[in-house]
Structure 1
């Protein structure tokens, strides 16, 4: 039998994790989490119809006694010493007795099995088993089943690892298929202006002195704790690996472009210098610096193989093997199970892959390394998204993954013949970039280190440009052209994506262009929980953009506890967004403020945050893209409560903090939090919040301005609070309405002070100044059921006076500009929101209010849906939205 804990988890998955009332507009998710930090249940199961003809089979890992627990690179959580003692097998068949169409795997160390063959349509059955190392005593799981739909029959399937290994046979240079395409690469780039410019750069590079093992920066550690000192020392050497490794790579490329031996001989001089560095020395022992050195050694060993003596070849093989094993030995039965072990996916997987291919035929273990990486890539990429093109952690840390996304897609594509740039996620990626970081405008202001990318930075520019070399997307091409207009200084020809451009260079390539004005104003990225709304996507630097967040991933990794938070940008700048500063992954400011709900435009319950961890998740049930009204609905009903993640509890423990109520954490009893956000023409944002708890709660709706000042203004009555935002952009006001009295607190202090003790720098290398920022919190009386209506005005000129037309039985009726708004604010009554624009000839309705539009009566098709009616000339455009699950809830947790 499978260990008891795994069996219990499997039974829980078979239970009702998602409740869906038939013919109801609303879906209530009751699962504790949608993504687990490490896999806790098998996939695919319960007869789901998989969205492919060759799914990857996934299951919980075991150490032989219990399920593998969360651990990741760079963490002080100790690794389970028994994870390497287990072997797995998989059986798949078209009948539950495993007699027909049987596929039986060989033994493997890892807990993923991507199917590299197309399955015929119909039902399939599978199970996995494990045995301890050296034992033939196999323990088998229950039998699981899934269905393959005939519509996926013609999808291309990645080949088995045997074919991949075969393609890596032959003489050096193996990397990037240079033993096959080297001559074409040389000739194709002879007249490439960028290649010529790079060669000039490489000439100067040879004049630089050999690097020595010294810090990239000096930071005083006086008075710091042992943990802080450890972090600071790593910070002092952060980037050292790239500083010594990149010249080796660049000189190898210059040699392949010119066949000039001067370049490869200087690369050898530099590679030997770093090969002699102590792998246990402070300069290159951490995963990032050691990984960069490993990649550089692989580059030279492969490109410069013919220039090495037998003794030097042995030295390089030994140095590569030592560093590669240090990475690989901690991967099987751990890394593939993790929701996203960031350091590995961001950087070290790429480092290891390049070094592995370099020695694939010379180091016996390398074939296992490559097998593992190819299987995990095939099963798990992209780890922080599924198909929508989004990235869970926000744009600040998305960019750390760019090089690996580009080069591993190129590498594994070379090996397999699969064009990974045609994956659904890849094809949607340009839209994610365009909608969440438009040209000349700010980003979404969410997640770790977003404040370093308020505008498009070099890495984002280079990444977008690189994608144009493998994608035929006219909107992407227009996006990149815009970046080049705004930032011509970014494109100097020696960046990290140069080699990718050289590999894919086509003289006189023609790039069709389409303006984003042809795209919908609103786009939902359900898998990562983002809705982006734009007044004018083509001119986001001159108009209003708003974003609603609610992530099925919760606040894992570099994500934050920001479910149902919003961001509003105006004229390309952030008006309302996340606040605080990234100083370290889990210092006091991070754990008590920056990562928490207190830093975001969302709601606190009795001043308590949402949960940190995968358990504190949200999702986006609905979105509608209209012409004059845009709409999104977020659900954060599962986001509140005690922190349950052992990983995050350990992070608190490491710095001697307790996630107590005094520190903003604990059980608040929230059972419902649905936030409706509408962006209306004319500069209006409407928020309507539905809130419930299992006890009376004081609800605080928050507003944060990272760059501007908030000032309170007088309100007509205690049930309304108003404030203004002092900006250089125009006039910004906010009015918050409720059915009970409200109290407002405006201040410019963080719950936990921000101190740049780690000397964190911005993208230009300047030490960041952690300035105070402004915040407004508006708090209700203690209520078990509660509603908020918020009207935000963003104007070039004066904002409008909000006229209260009536307030009867909790139904508040106000008018602002052309817009007539009714909202049911009595929590005991059915939720309702109706917005009508007479001149705009548009109407939005949610709830049970009568719908009269353009002289006619309308009714929703499904009770509780969100209805949008807009006149386009004489034609009525009717859109109706009900709750729709993200992919993880559709497939990875089957409805029962």
Structure 2
């Protein structure tokens, strides 16, 4: 990072700028534009405005984006490792406005100004410094709204001065430690007593020896799992003993933490536990060890400190080297690397007053959080790798977010991702759900996310996140993070008042709930069609869905995670055949290929106030009205099939509460047979002489009426191929149903109605009728009292309008609900104008 410190100069004032950010100027009109006008025809090897590769971060702000924070982070595609950049931000797309801001001497392809931008339209561009001057790329417009949150890059002179010179510096600096000690003697005494008792049982135990080098070949995976399972627990105890010593003063536990620190940091940092030999042990060692050392430093002699710190510094430098090699700011799509900015940042905070390089490390780690973090999500808060990995990686991140805020006052929770991501947990991994799709670790219970949600609730003062933590039964007070975030004054609030549907388009997720927060009434639907595809800990599950009701899984994602790339994991868990999607001639989507992704092409919720419905109906925003509307999601997954499909558009209309009408429009490059998949915990009943499928997981049940194609071959099995390896520990078979077309064809359509209900209440389900209109197909749902819903899907993509069930529409999907008297009560049209009655000719 550059560390030159200078001033921003204007004709009116001089204002200081954060160090480490390069040289910045605000020019008078046209003063600096001569740099851009220098003749550089034929400049070798310079490619400005290059499209980002799949493994590179896109330009940000994007063209026309309305940002949430000011200033926004600026990201561009690198021009080369040794390039020096210039960034310009202006009110004018010609960059000749008086308030044009120019930042020069930048060594990285990301930048965050130290001053906010006023509301209004802005333009930005980047340039590369050459021997002939600066060559600029094109202007990109963006808008700063009036309510944008200020989020300038920190002034590090001021931030570092706030970090205390005395220890502890991590989490419990200053008066926070005394407050925690008071809680430990009072309301948190049971949790701390439990922590101390657990630590006492570990005192003096033999410690695991330094592992050897990782083998190659088929033994590599099991070996790595064994190393993690044998080295992580004693390192966890190291941190817990140090925490117990810090809070309670238990000297015996302090010395146990010291014993473990000296043992683990005697391992050769250039040997088998080097980051570049096998990254898991050194990352865990530094994560736990940095904190434990900060809290027990007073127990070490000068010579002992020198030995520990020398080892730590080598390991921290390895983290930095790996981040810079990628480089993380433009190419962060390496799962394990996502932990390193936080680990490096914590280490920098701990040694900020001892190691001169720690300041640059802290600035760099924070810059990555401001700009490129996370790799696996966007501003909407979604996460590519599934709730299991989200929970783990948020634990890693929140330690740094919390430590940085406590020590310096720099609040990373202002970042849109961090403010929105608790709702990813709330909507996709509600505490009473039975499993956690989609991604590795999906068989785990969402209750394991409770502690992360507690920390989010404190940092964001979010009562809905606190509700999740309470419902999950999160244990608070026996670990550093929850102690640091302990805030008993915040009350939980049920999410029942939140919208029932939410989307996370950056990762292609759409979530519907009928009664979010109420286990006994809630029916949920989750669909995924991710632009990331099946890379990293994501799966080849584009256009897959899952359904849960009353806390029980009905349509589920299957497969276990013995270790990354195990035969079961590779051939089943992350394969399309493990989820509720579609195969083509028995073949699924391509896993672990960047271009083999999907995307969420449509989303609409009853609460969104869409264009459909009369003005009177749109004005009725009562809870009863909103809960009885329609939700809609649409995904396209054809690119995931490596050329076998030209189209796989999945449409889902949720007729609240708990009826899902799904239409799949498939077109293959060659005549093919298509397999429609359904997975469940229990055997699926196939009603004889029909295409009705019944799923029961008491007290929940679901009838699936597969209306199209009219003839399919149905089979099911409860076997995995291959079975999970023994390292998966306890595992259970699930059931896997296939409904296959019988004749090869270029095109086919599946139309299914999922009727979710409480077991024993089948009599209240509506009658389902197939509708085949002009250029559209659909269903009519008729309740016992005569109320009806007509839901149709366009099949003719060329016609200006199509009709289905007597309703005309110009868009792709229509839905019209009428009460028993024939009065319209709910409407949906996507996209386009509301549906209306077709003229009777």
- TM value normalised by structure 2: 0.79
- Distance, in Å, in 2 between the alignment partners of 1:11 and 1:794 is 49
Is 1:374 the equivalent of 2:373?
A: no
**Residues 91 and 102, structure 1, Cα contact 8 Å, conserved in 2:** no
CA distance in 1, matches of 2:603, 2:145: 29
Structure 2 matches for 1:424-439, cutoff 5 A?
Answer: 424-439=416-431
Match of 2:139 in 1: 144
Matched, 1:756 2:725: yes
SS in 2 for 1:86: coil
Partner Cα distance (1:183, 1:628) in 2: 50
Q: Which residue of 2 aligns with 1:623?
A: 604
The answer on 1:92 being equivalent to 2:73 is no
Q: What CA distance in whole angstroms lies between the structure 2 residues aligned with 1:873 and 1:157?
A: 58
Shift, 1:503, TM fit? 2.7
CA offset digits 1:204-241 (Å, max 9, x no partner): 625634465537999xx9xx993222222221110445
Structure 2 residue 481 is the aligned partner of structure 1 residue 491: no
Please name the residue that 1:513 is paired with.
493
Could you tell me which residue of structure 2 aligns to residue 833 of structure 1? 778
Q: Report the counterpart of residue 275 of structure 1 in structure 2.
A: 265
Cα deviation for residue 374 of structure 1 reads 0.5
Q: Which runs of 5+ in 2 are unaligned?
A: 1-39, 607-625, 795-800, 833-841
- TM-superposition CA deviations, 1:91-139 (whole Å, max 9, x none): 21425676654555465654322333212333323214378xxxx8988
The reply to whether residue 503 of structure 1 matches residue 484 of structure 2 is yes
Aligned pairs for 1:344-355 within 5 A: 344-345=337-338, 347-355=339-347
The answer to whether the 8 A contact 2:75-2:110 is kept is yes
Q: What is the RMSD of the two structures over their aligned residues, measured on CA atoms?
A: 4.0
2:714 is aligned with 1:744: yes
- The one-character-per-residue Cα deviations of 1:222-264 (angstroms, maximum 9, x if unpaired) are xx99322222222111044543333333343334324565554
Q: Contact 1:735/1:791 (CA < 8 Å) preserved in 2?
A: yes
Contact in 1 for aligned 2:328/2:372 (Cα 8 Å): no
In terms of mean alpha carbon deviation, does 256-265 or 334-343 score higher? 256-265
How far has the Cα of 1:602 moved from its partner?
1.1
Following superposition, the deviation at residue 778 of structure 1 comes to 2.1
Q: Structure 2 residue aligned with 1:786, among 748, 752, 755?
A: 748
- Alignment CA distance shift 1:166-1:731 (3 Å): closer
* In structure 2, distance between residues paired with 1:168 and 1:127: 34
Pick closer, same or farther for the CA change 1:128–1:311 going to 2, 3 Å.
Answer: farther
The 5 A counterparts of 1:161-560 are 161-168=156-163, 170-176=165-171, 178=173, 180-181=174-175, 184-185=178-179, 188-189=182-183, 191-195=185-189, 197-198=191-192, 201-202=195-196, 205-206=199-200, 208-210=202-204, 212=206, 214=208, 226-258=216-248, 263-280=253-270, 282=272, 286-332=278-324, 333-345=326-338, 347-414=339-406, 417-421=409-413, 423-451=415-443, 453=444, 455-457=445-447, 459-484=448-473, 491=475, 493-494=477-478, 498-506=479-487, 509=489, 511-514=491-494, 516-540=495-519, 544-560=523-539
**Would you say the 8 A contact 1:624–1:879 is kept in 2?**
no
- For 1:816-895, list aligned pairs within 5 A: 817-824=765-772, 830-838=775-783, 839=785, 841=787, 843-846=789-792, 847=794, 863-869=811-817, 878-882=826-830
> Cα–Cα, structure 1 residues 3 and 701, in superposed 2: closer, same or farther, change >3 Å?
farther
Q: For the residues of structure 1 that align with 2:136 and 2:570, how far apart are their CA atoms?
A: 39
Aligned equivalent of 2:15: none
Partner of 1:646: none
Cα distance, 1:428–1:38 mapped onto 2, change above 3 Å: closer
Q: How big is the shift at 1:709?
A: 1.6
1:456 & 1:173 partners in 2: Cα distance?
33
Match of 2:797 in 1: none
- Give the C-alpha shift of residue 599 in structure 1: 1.5
Q: 1:617 Cα shift?
A: 1.9
- What is the CA–CA distance in structure 1 between the aligned matches of 2:269 and 2:413, rounded to whole Å? 35
Matched-pair contact (CA < 8 Å) for 1:834–1:849:
no
- SS of residue in 1 equivalent to 2:689: coil
SS at match of 2:459: coil
For 1:82, the equivalent position in structure 2 comes to: none
Q: Which residue among 36, 54, 63 is the counterpart of 1:36? A: 54
Give unmatched runs, 5+ long, in structure 1. 14-34, 65-84, 485-489, 643-666, 761-766, 802-815, 885-896
8 Å Cα contact 1:118/1:153 also seen in 2: no
Would the alpha carbon gap of residues 395 and 840 (structure 1) be closer, same or farther in structure 2, given more than 3 Å must change?
A: farther
Point out the more displaced range, 561-570 or 631-640.
Answer: 631-640
Cα distance 1:882–1:276, how it changes in 2: closer, same or farther (>3 A)?
A: same
Residue 111 to residue 467, structure 1, CA distance change in 2 (3 Å) = same
Distance in structure 1 (CA, Å) of the matches to 2:382 and 2:62: 25
Tell me: CA distance 1:465–1:778, structure 2 relative to 1, closer, same or farther (3 Å).
Answer: same
Q: Matched residue of 2:651: which SS?
A: strand
Distance 1:11 1:469 in 2: 41
Contact 2:653 2:662 in 1 (8 A): yes
Distance 1:747 1:200 in 2: 46
1:675 aligns with 2:655: no
Q: Quote the Cα distance in structure 1 between the aligned partners of 2:423 and 2:203.
A: 44
Match of 1:715 in 2: 689
Q: 1:98 to 1:257 in 2, by over 3 A?
A: same
| Offset at residue 798 of structure 1 (A) | 6.5
Residue 400 of structure 1: how far off its partner (Å): 1.4
Structure 1 residue 352 displacement after superposition: 2.5
After TM superposition, the structure 1 stretch with the greater mean CA deviation from structure 2, 731-740 or 327-336, is 731-740
Distance in 2 (alpha carbons) for counterparts of 1:291 and 1:118: 35
Alignment partner of 2:287: what SS?
helix
SS of 1:176's equivalent? coil
Q: Does 1:53 align with 2:70?
A: yes
- How much has 1:700 moved relative to structure 2? 1.9
CA distance in 2 between partners of 1:415 and 1:137 (Å): 45
Say if 2:594 is the partner of 1:614: yes
SS at match of 2:741: strand
CA distance in 1, matches of 2:757, 2:588: 32
CA 1:109–1:316 in structure 2 vs 1: closer, same or farther (change >3 Å)? farther
Contact 2:554/2:701 (CA < 8 Å) preserved in 1?
Answer: no
Query: What is the rounded CA distance, in whole Å, between the counterparts of 1:823 and 1:874 in structure 2?
Result: 18
Which gives a bigger RCO, structure 1 or 2 (Cα 8 Å, sep 6+)?
1
Residue 320 of structure 1, CA deviation: 0.8
SS in 2 for 1:441: coil
Q: Does 1:688 align with 2:663?
A: yes
Distance 1:540-1:284 versus aligned 2 partners, 3 A rule: farther
What are the superposed Cα offsets for residues 401-452 of structure 1, whole Å, 9 maximum, x if unpaired? 131232222123335635444554444444333332334332343211201x
Assess, with a 3 A threshold, how the Cα gap between structure 1 residues 504 and 878 changes in structure 2: closer, same or farther: same
